[in-house]
Copies of this chain bind each other. A is one copy, B any other.
Amino acid sequence: MAGNNKKKAVVLLSGGLDSTTVLAMAKADGFEPVCLAVSYGQRHSVELDRARRVTQAMGVKDFRVVTVDLRQVGGSALTADIDVPKDRPEDELSHGIPITYVPARNALFLSLALGLAEVVEASVIYIGVNAVDYSGYPDCRPEFIRAFEQMATLATKAGVEGTRFEVRAPLSGMTKADIIRAGVKLGVDYSMTHSCYDPDGEGRACGRCDSCVLRRRGFEQAGVADPTSYVKGA
């Protein structure tokens, strides 16, 4: 199209704080973002609504949703009937693999992103994994990302034909406060974003799950007012 020579990049978007920041970074890097949200039977379907609002607010022209029903796989508090933990002491948050871990989730999400990248002729995929996450989630570690890139190039027609796929995880190594500061500089409106594992019917955050605790602390440490809508008393 006339006036648009931008290269495309696929951005995995959940509508959360991290992936929304990554979307702003992909745009700042000069890419035309093709956003992919994965609906995987997560309890908090409010995420998808937020993802859609984020794409509208940020001028994304191509937003796609892939639905994957993981209930028959199970194994996570986010897809099965396991209670989401609340009010855990802060020093527990960064140790061990949380029960909200979804087995092989990032391998799955990146595989979906890879298929889409091949279809839209993008070679770059953005994913919002970060330092706080990868202390607990194995599939947030840089060595996983590198192994995925190797596999991706061998997995695809585009790879056979010479494309080398690159997975960018620009939040890797950043704290939540770093991410918020970077996003604010890029003009991200965090009031649209959603992080809570256990929101109420109106999509208000519980304020007490691990994800809420990390998010709240991030705003505090960044010195940025927290625009999140929390349930009363949280």
Contact residues of A with B, CB < 8 Å?
A: 64-70, 72-75, 97, 101-108, 111-112, 114-116, 118-119, 138-139, 141, 143-144, 147-148, 150-152, 154-157, 159-160
Contacts and interface: CB of A to CB of B under 8 A. Distances in A.
Q: Dominant SS at the A interface?
A: helix
Contact of A156 (B111, B139, B157): B139
Contacts of A144: 151, 154-155
Contacts of A105: 115
A114 B198 CA distance: 26
B111 A115 contact: no
A102 B66 CA distance: 15
Contacts of A106: 155
Nearest to A144: B154
Contacts of A65: 72
A139 B152 CA distance: 9
